[in-house]
Structure 1
Amino acid sequence: MVGIVDRGRAAETRESSPEPIGDLDARIARRHAGFVATARRLSRTGWVLVRGTAGILDRRLAVVGALFLLLIATSTLVFDLYLGVSLLDALYFVVVTFATVGYGDINLLEAPAPLKLFGIVMIIVGGLVLALVFGLVTDAIVGVRVARALGQHPVPRRDHVIVCGVGKTGGRIIEALVEAGVPCVAVERDEAAIDSALIKRLRVPLVVGDASSEETLDSLRLGSARALMAMTNDDMANLQCALLAHAQAPRLRVVLRLFDHDLATRVERATGIHLSRSVSSLAAPAFVAAIFGRRAAAVLPIGNEVLQIVDLTAERPTDVSALEGACQARVLAVNGTAFPEPHVPVAPGDEVRVVGTVRGLADLERRVVPSAAGDDANERDETAR
């Protein structure tokens, strides 16, 4: 009994004591944030559903809708001319006839035989078209819900990137596109090579089919896409896919992955595809940098050249102008200061970030880090001995 009384007094004390203003504001803010997050989630879900449904119904519903409007306009003009009623009354009669509702105030009992025959055809065709519209809408809504329940997503209508090949390279590209907020579509013909966990986690539309076939490209909305990236492990498949896509959509930006550097060069010269990349030519500078102990920050393909951004630690005093004038490289930063002036000195121990070709970086490294060149010379002497 004592415990019950104590708990009752404690409850009364809590009810009588005012809640701190700070705690109350925090609770209100948290509750408001929860409401806002829920509203955004619901609106985003509804917008995705509407966008997916509109994407599926885009062509078929446009054709059926145009046919339905043409039938309404034709029927309205016919009844306006032969029944002697106004356009509004004729439109009213057509609408109530299609909808099988009305008050019977307008009918074709006293109309001539040709007009009655036209009315019969109008009723039959209008009923079929209206049923087709309802069927398309219902099928699309149910199809979108079933696809989302199975983890599938519709292809975006426009401004999307088509990634052909969902291997390691294609998967990383898709991850980068999703992180950047760019809508994309994954295409893979080998179901065993698909990383289902990645596709489900990123919620990316997946099309299983051959990207080098016209049927598959038609289903990807190629004409309204932003770019196409052929990233499979087969050079010929990538080339065929890129050429077919370029032929169907000449303004489409096409990025082509090739393992043969000579083939990539010939493709750029012979076709209008100017974004073909050789994997070996991109990877070779990174391996060379690792051999010489350079800290490669990035590899940049510029035309037929491959530039590297590396970080070096100076061991000899010099300045920026001397470094840039003696080799094919540019100094980007010294000790974190971006784009230094030519007269800025470089002291031993300074961190220098530079960009250049493999040969230019090698020349620059001999001036900034002479010990590396000396070590290489010593190693060559020992090997010769």
Structure 2
Amino acid sequence: MRKVGYRVTLQLLKFGREVVGIEINPEGRFVEKTRALGIPLLITNARRSENIIKAGVERADAIIPCTDDELANLDIALDARELNPGIKVVMRMFDADLAQRVEKGFEIHTAFSTSALAAPLFAAAAMRFDIKHSFYIGDQLLNLSELIVEPGSQLINWTLKKLQSNLDLSIVCHHSQEITDLHPNPALILKPGDRLLLLASLETLKHLKDLNQPAAV
């Protein structure tokens, strides 16, 4: 559990997700800090498939290999995909050409993690947010994300004005029935299948994802 992995863990815990960590070095800098968070941390080699099985990869929703070795990350990612074909894989990479080939060939989301964006972007990708771009304004991380209004969504019949004011986000574009509007009317009412391009924080995107589902009975 290195620096990026620890930061990703903090982000995922903020989202209310269950996390299991793997660290090969028992004397690692973030081992005690991670354990202090109250999550399981296995001291083992994640490149061995039996070890990610012990961590629960076969029932996991997502896996984030984010070591400093991109080939190790790819090895872990491919093992995870073989063991759990439906798992969301988000992988740390440094080589842009290799990342492009990996994304195209294996449908694995890659992230470049040499900047302060790394941890929130890894966590957001694992949460299955459709983020197109992220950037900081001051200390605030903003994300350009696409939302498709699902059938049965709690957002159906909301106006754009209500969506923006209730969730503290900005709508950049609205698309419906082959019509794209860069300046949509705030009184427009959302329908299933509508597409929105919006700016929001990760916390807002999580809330939006929850609302874009049928209400719990």
For Structure 1 versus Structure 2, the TM-score category normalised by the shorter chain is 0.5 to 0.7
- Deviation string 1:306-332 (CA, Å, 9 cap, x unpaired) is 453648xxxxxxxxxxxxxxxxxxxx9
Report the counterpart of residue 101 of structure 2 in structure 1: 266
How far is the alpha carbon of 1:253 from its aligned partner?
1.0
Asked whether the equivalents of residues 35 and 41 of structure 2 are also in contact (C-alpha less than 8 Å), the reply is no
What residue number does 1:278 align with?
112
Match of 1:209 in 2: 44
The two structures, once aligned, show a CA RMSD in angstroms of 3.5
Q: Indicate conservation of the 8 Å contact 2:3/2:30, yes or no.
A: no
**TM-score between both structures, scaled by the size of structure 1:** 0.32
Q: Which residue of the other structure, out of 180, 183, 186, is the alignment partner of 2:15?
A: 180
| In structure 1, distance between residues paired with 2:40 and 2:24 | 14
SS at match of 2:51: helix
Cα deviation digits, residues 210-257 of structure 1 (max 9, x gap): 111122022122211111110111111101000111111111111111
Q: Aligned pair in 2 of structure 1 residues 270, 192: CA closer, same or farther (>3 Å)? A: same
Cα distance in 2, alignment partners of residues 251 and 175 from structure 1: 24
The structure 1 segments of at least 4 consecutive aligned residues displaced by more than 4 Å after TM superposition are: 300-305, 336-342
Q: Residues of 1 paired with 2:76 and 2:169: CA distance? A: 45
What's 1:308 paired with? 135
Q: How many angstroms apart in 2 are the aligned matches of 1:187 and 1:201? A: 15
Letter in 2 for 1:182: R
2:34 aligned partner: 199
Residue pairs, 1:1-385, within 5 angstroms: 166-273=1-108, 275-280=109-114, 283=115, 306-308=133-135, 310=137, 338=170
Task: Supply the AA of the counterpart residue of 2:113.
Answer: V
Deviation at 1:180, TM superposition (A): 2.5
1:218–1:338: structure 2 CA closer, same or farther, 3 Å change rule? closer
Q: Report the number of matched residues.
A: 141
Q: Deviations over 1:25-75 (max 9, x none)?
A: xxxxxxxxxxxxxxxxxxxxxxxxxxxxxxxxxxxxxxxxxxxxxxxxxxx
- Comparing both structures, which one devotes a greater share of its residues to helix? 1
Using a 3 Å threshold, how does the CA distance of structure 1 residues 338 and 247 change in structure 2: closer, same or farther?
closer
Q: Distance in 1 between matches of 2:86 and 2:9?
A: 22
**Bigger proportion of residues as strand:** 2
CA distance in structure 1 between the partners assigned to 2:169 and 2:59 by the alignment: 43
What CA deviation, in whole Å up to 9, does each residue of 1:49-106 have, x standing for no partner? xxxxxxxxxxxxxxxxxxxxxxxxxxxxxxxxxxxxxxxxxxxxxxxxxxxxxxxxxx
Structure exhibiting the larger radius of gyration computed from Cα positions: 1
Are the aligned partners of 1:257 and 1:278 in contact in 2 as well (CA < 8 Å)? yes
Which amino acid is 1:279 matched to? S
Q: CA deviation at 1:169?
A: 0.7
Unaligned stretches of 5+ residues in structure 2: 139-163, 173-181, 184-197, 200-217
Name the counterpart of 1:134: none
Identity %: 26
In structure 2, relative to structure 1, the CA distance for the partners of 1:203 and 1:259 (3 Å cut) is same
RCO higher in structure (CA 8 A, sep ≥6): 2
Do the aligned partners of residues 305 and 262 (structure 1) sit closer, same or farther apart at CA in structure 2, a change above 3 Å counting?
A: farther
Aligned twin of 2:141: none
Q: Is the 8 A contact 2:92 2:111 kept in 1?
A: yes
**Which AA in structure 1 matches 2:55?**
L
**Structure 1 residues 249, 339: closer, same or farther in 2, change over 3 A?**
closer
In the superposition, relative to structure 1, how do residues 197 and 307 fare at CA in structure 2: closer, same or farther (>3 Å)? closer
Q: CA distance change for structure 1 residues 338 and 256 in 2, over 3 Å: closer, same or farther?
A: closer
- Decide whether aligned partners of structure 1 residues 233 and 272 sit closer, same or farther in structure 2, where only a CA change above 3 A counts: same
Equivalent position of 2:142 in the other structure = none
Q: Could you say which residue in structure 2 is the equivalent of 1:111?
A: none
Distance 1:243 1:227 in 2: 13
1:232 match: secondary structure: coil
Deviation (angstroms), 1:181: 2.2
